Amino acid sequence: MNNIEQQFEAYSSWRAGLFGAISEFRGWLRTQEIADAQVDQRLEQVLSTLRDDKLYVAFVAEFSRGKSELINAIFFAGFGQRVLPSSAGRTTMCPTELVCENRDTPFIRLLPIETRSSGTTVSELKGFPDEWTTIPLEIQSPDKVAQALQHIAQIKTVSKEVAQSMGLHIAEEDTQNGMHVTDEGLVEIPRWRHAVINFPHPLLEQGLVILDTPGLNALGTEPELTLSLLPSAHAVLFILAADAGVTKSDIQVWRDFISNPKGGPAKGRLVVLNKIDGLWDELRDWEEVQHEIDRQIQETAKHLGISEQNIYPVSAQKALLGKIRGDRAILERSRIGALENALGEEMLPAKRDIVRENIGGEMVDIIKSMRVILTQRLKGVQEHMEELEGLSGKNLDVIDHMMEKVRVDKEHFEKSLQRFQATRSIFSQQTNLLYSHLNLKAIDKMIAETKRDMEISLTTSGLKTRMQTFFRQMHAIMEDVARQAQEIKELMEGVYRKFQEEHGLSNIKPHGFSVMKYLREIKRVEDKHMQFFGGMSLLITEQKSVTRKFYESAVARIRAIFATANRDADNWLRTIMSPMESQVREHQIQLRRRLESIKRIHKASDTLDDRLNELKDVRDGIRAQDKALETQAETITSILNAPAGPAARAEPALDIDLSA
Ligand SMILES: Nc1nc2c(ncn2[C@@H]2O[C@H](COP(=O)(O)OP(=O)(O)OP(=O)(O)O)[C@@H](O)[C@H]2O)c(=O)[nH]1
Ligand SMILES: [Mg+2]
C-alpha cells in the first residue's frame, strides 16, 4: 500500500465512523420522540453529504508531459498494464474523468464533440445519458480495455466552418495554439468532448475522481473545465517533463490554470518534474545524475517562481514498470514514493477539514437544539412537581385557585401563540422577498440580456465591460439577499425575545444567513474570467465564440452558485423557525399537562402521591435521555475532531465545540 492508499483508507474509515455515529444518533432520536421531522430531515441531509462525498484529483499540463502515464503509475499499476492510453505526440484528446459509480458495469461513456454547438455544458449533459456513447468495458481482458480506451485519443477532420461553429480555435500556423489544419485545408478536431470512465478500483469506489486533461488546446476550449472543475479540485498536479524543459506553453498553462497570484503553489497544488529517467546515463555515475536532476529542479523553480521543495522529480514510466514487475530498485529510482506521500498528505487531511467544515456546524446546531428541548422538558416537570408538592394538605379552595392560575397562564400563552401566528405571515412575506432576489428566472433574464448585449457589442473593451457589468449585477443581488436575510433574522429575534420574556422559554438566538461564500465564489469566477479573457487580444470576429465561452462557463458557474444559495436559504429558513416552533410546542404540552393533573386532583380521581410518582418517572426518563444524548454527542464530536492520520497537524484545524 502506498501512502495515498493508506491515507485514503484512514479517511474512509473516519468518514464511515462518522456516518455510523450520526445514523445511530438519528435512529435514537426517532425512538425517543425528541426530534421532529425537520431535524430528521436535516440529519438525512448530513448523511447524504457524507454518502456522496467525492475527492477530485486533476492532472494538468501541456501535451505529452506524461499526465496519463503518471495516472497509470500512481493509480492503475495494479491492473498489470497501461489503462489510459499514453503515447508520443498528442494522445488524450478530451478531458477524461475516472470514477466508480457502479462497480458491476464498467464502461466508458463519450460525449460527441458536436454537442458543443448547442451551447449546453458538459455537466448539464451528464443528466442525459442518451447524448453519450456508452461502451462496456471487459475488465477481464486488459487488451480489450486498452482498445476501448483508445477512443479518448480519437480525432476527426471537419471543414473550417464546422470547426468554427463549434467554437473551436483554429491554429493558422503550426506554432500557434489551436486545432491543427491539414494539407487539404481541413481541421483536425477531437472526436469527443468529454469522457467518463466507470472503472472498478478501490480508491474510485471510495469516492476518488481522477481527471485527466489534454494539453493546452483543450484546456482553452472547455472553460467549464478550467474555470469550474480545476479550481474546485482537492488536488491538482502540474506536470513538466525533463526532456522538454519549461517551455512557453508550459508557462502559459501554469499561469492560466494553476499558479497562485500570491506566489508559490496554492494548497493542494503539486508540481511534478517527469521523465527524469531521460537523465539516467550509464556513462555517468549516479551522483552526477542526481546532480543533473537537482540542477533541473533549480531551473524549474526559478521559471515558476516557487521554491525547490515544491517540485517532485519522478519517472512515471519507470514507476509503472517497477510496480508491474515488482522491481523495487527501479521503483526507488523512479522517486514516485515521495510524490505519492505528498499527494496523500496534501489531499486527504485537507479533504477532512472540508467535510468537517461542511457538516460540523450543522451537527453542533442539531445537538444543541436537542439539549434545549430536554432541558426545557426537565424544567417543566420539576416546576410541575413543585407545584403539586405545594398542594399537599391544602383545601379545595387553594386547589381551585391554583387551577385558575394555570388556566390564566394557558390563555395568556395561547394569545401569544396567536400573535406568533400573525408574525408568521410577516415572516412569509419577508421570505418571499428573499426568494425574489434569489429567483433563478430573474437571473436567467439578466443572463439573456448580457448575452444579447455581448453579441451586438462592437469593441473588445465593450465586451469586457459588459462581462464586468454582469458580475457587478450578480454581486449586487447577493448584497440584497444579505440585507433581506438580516431583516428576517431581526424579525425572528424579536419574536424569540418576546416569548422568552413572557413565558420563560430558553434563550436561543437564531443564527444569520451569510452570503460571504457566494460573494467570494462570484469574485473567484470573475477573477478567473477576467484573467482568461483579459489576456486575449480579441478579433471582433471572435466575439460570438467569446460570448459563447463566457456563456458556457461563467454563466453556468454563476447559475450554480445561485442554485446553491437557494437551497441554503431553504435550509436556513427551516432551521431558523424550527427551534422556536419546537419550544412553543413543548411549552404548550406542559401547560396542558399541568392543568390536567390539577384538575384530576381537584376531582380526587388521582391522589397527589400517584401523580407525583408518575412525574418522578417522567423526570428520570428525561435525565436518562439527557445522559444518552451527551454520550452520542461526545462520540460524534470526538470523531469530528480526530486529527487526520499519522501526518496530522498537532491540533485539529477546526475545533467543534459543543459546550453551550
Ligand atoms: N522516458 C519517459 N517517457 C515518458 C515518461 N512518462 C511518459 N513518457 C512518455 O511520454 C509520452 C507522452 O506521455 P503521455 O502520458 O501520453 O502524456 P500526456 O501528458 O498524457 O499527453 P497528452 O495526452 O497528449 O496531453 C509517451 O510516449 C510516454 O511513454 C517517463 O517518465 N519517462
Ligand atoms: Mg494523456
pLDDT (tens digit per residue) in 264-308:
567 788 999 999 999 888 778 888 889 999 999 999 999 988 889
Query: Ligand 1: does its nearest atom lie under 6 Å from the Cβ of 59?
Result: no
Query: Ligand 1: does its nearest atom lie under 6 Å from the Cβ of 217?
Result: no
Contacts 24+ apart (CB under 8 A), 447-454: 447/551, 447/555, 447/558, 447/559, 450/555, 451/547, 451/551, 451/555, 454/543, 454/546, 454/547, 454/550
Separation of CA 274 and ligand 1 centre (Å): 9
Kindly indicate the confidence band of residue 652, based on its pLDDT and cuts at 50, 70 and 90: very low
**How far is residue 109's CA from residue 194's CA, in Å, rounded to a whole number?**
8
Q: Report whether pLDDT(69) > 50.
A: yes
Supply the pLDDT for residue 650: 36
Query: Ligand 1: does its nearest atom lie under 6 Å from the Cβ of 82?
Result: no
Task: Return the percent helix, strand and coil in the chain, to nearest 5.
Answer: 65, 10, 25
User: What residues flank ion ligand 2 with Cβ within 5 A?
Assistant: 67-68, 91-92
Separation of CA 96 and ligand 2 centre (Å): 9
Ligand having the closest approach to the CA of 272: 1
Atom of ligand 1 nearest to the CA of 214: 25
Is the CB of residue 109 less than 8 Å from the CB of residue 133?
yes
Mean pLDDT (whole number) for 559-584: 84
Atom of ligand 1 nearest to the CA of 92: 23
What does pLDDT average to over the chain?
A: 85
What torsion, rounded to 10 degrees, do the Cα atoms 73, 75, 78, 81 define? -50
Give the residue among 177, 281, 269, 164 at the shortest CA–CA distance from 220. Answer: 177
Rg (CA), the chain: 32
Q: Report whether pLDDT(410) > 70.
A: yes
Ligand having the closest approach to the CA of 82: 1
Query: Ligand 1: does its nearest atom lie under 6 Å from the Cβ of 274?
Result: yes
Mean pLDDT (whole number) for 390-405: 80
Q: How far is CA 446 from CA 30, 466, 526, 559, in A?
A: 45, 12, 16, 11
Residue in 71, 74, 86, 239 to alter for ligand 1 test, most ligand atoms within 8 A of Cβ: 86
Structure confidence by residue, pLDDT tens digits, 576-594: 877 777 778 888 888 888 8
**How far is residue 33's CA from residue 36's CA, in Å, rounded to a whole number?**
7
Mean pLDDT (whole number) for 253-259: 80
Give the residue among 351, 356, 1 at the shortest CA–CA distance from 208. Answer: 351
Ligand having the closest approach to the CA of 61: 1
Kindly indicate the confidence band of residue 525, based on its pLDDT and cuts at 50, 70 and 90: confident
Query: Ligand 1: does its nearest atom lie under 6 Å from the Cβ of 213?
Result: no
Q: Which of 91-100, 280-289, 502-511, 543-552 has the lowest mean pLDDT?
A: 543-552
Q: Do strands 107-112 and 133-136 pair parallel, antiparallel, or not at all (unpaired)?
A: antiparallel
Q: Report whether pLDDT(542) > 90.
A: no
Structure confidence by residue, pLDDT tens digits, 454-496: 878 777 778 888 888 999 999 999 999 999 999 999 988 888 8
Query: Ligand 1: does its nearest atom lie under 6 Å from the Cβ of 86?
Result: yes
Is the CB of residue 567 less than 8 Å from the CB of residue 435?
no
Supply the pLDDT for residue 606: 67
Of residues 583 and 222, which shows the higher confidence score?
583
Separation of CA 176 and ligand 2 centre (Å): 20
Separation of CA 65 and ligand 1 centre (Å): 5
Of residues 195 and 612, which shows the higher confidence score?
195
Mean pLDDT (whole number) for 91-109: 92
* Helices assigned H by DSSP within 265-395: 286-304, 316-325, 328-334, 336-391
CA atoms within 13 A on the CB side of 633: 22
Separation of CA 332 and ligand 1 centre (Å): 19
Mean pLDDT (whole number) for 378-387: 88
Cβ burial 56-82 (10 Å sphere, 16+ → b, else e): bbbbbbbbbbbbbbbbbbbbbbebeeb
Give the residue among 300, 226, 291, 225 at the shortest CA–CA distance from 270. Answer: 300
Ligand having the closest approach to the CA of 91: 1
What torsion, rounded to 10 degrees, do the Cα atoms 34, 40, 42, 45 define? 150
Query: Ligand 1: does its nearest atom lie under 6 Å from the Cβ of 72?
Result: no
Separation of CA 90 and ligand 1 centre (Å): 9
**How far is residue 58's CA from residue 61's CA, in Å, rounded to a whole number?**
10
Percentage of residues in the chain having pLDDT higher than 90 = 37
Supply the pLDDT for residue 373: 87
Whole-prediction pTM value?
0.76
Kindly indicate the confidence band of residue 383, based on its pLDDT and cuts at 50, 70 and 90: confident
Q: Report whether pLDDT(171) > 80.
A: no
Supply the pLDDT for residue 519: 92
Mean pLDDT (whole number) for 615-623: 93
Query: Ligand 1: does its nearest atom lie under 6 Å from the Cβ of 106?
Result: no
From the number of C-beta atoms within 10 Å of its C-beta (0-12, 13-18, 19+), residue 295 rates as exposed
Mean pLDDT (whole number) for 407-423: 84
Of residues 197 and 500, which shows the higher confidence score?
197
Kindly indicate the confidence band of residue 430, based on its pLDDT and cuts at 50, 70 and 90: very high
Supply the pLDDT for residue 433: 93
Supply the pLDDT for residue 653: 41
Kindly indicate the confidence band of residue 651, based on its pLDDT and cuts at 50, 70 and 90: very low
Supply the pLDDT for residue 21: 96
Ligand having the closest approach to the CA of 240: 1
Query: Ligand 1: does its nearest atom lie under 6 Å from the Cβ of 91?
Result: yes
Give the residue among 268, 277, 280, 288 at the shortest CA–CA distance from 319. Answer: 277
* Helices assigned H by DSSP within 504-555: 516-534, 543-550
Contacts of 584 (CB under 8 A, 6+ apart): 417, 420, 499, 505
Query: Ligand 1: does its nearest atom lie under 6 Å from the Cβ of 180?
Result: no
Atom of ligand 1 nearest to the CA of 72: 15
Element (H, E) at 59: strand 55-60
Is the CB of residue 270 less than 8 Å from the CB of residue 254?
no
Length of the chain: 660
**How far is residue 25's CA from residue 419's CA, in Å, rounded to a whole number?**
35
Nearest CA residue ID for atom 2, ligand 1: 275
Nearest CA residue ID for atom 9, ligand 1: 66
Bridge partners (DSSP) listed for residue 344: none
Is the CB of residue 60 less than 8 Å from the CB of residue 230?
yes
Separation of CA 377 and ligand 2 centre (Å): 63
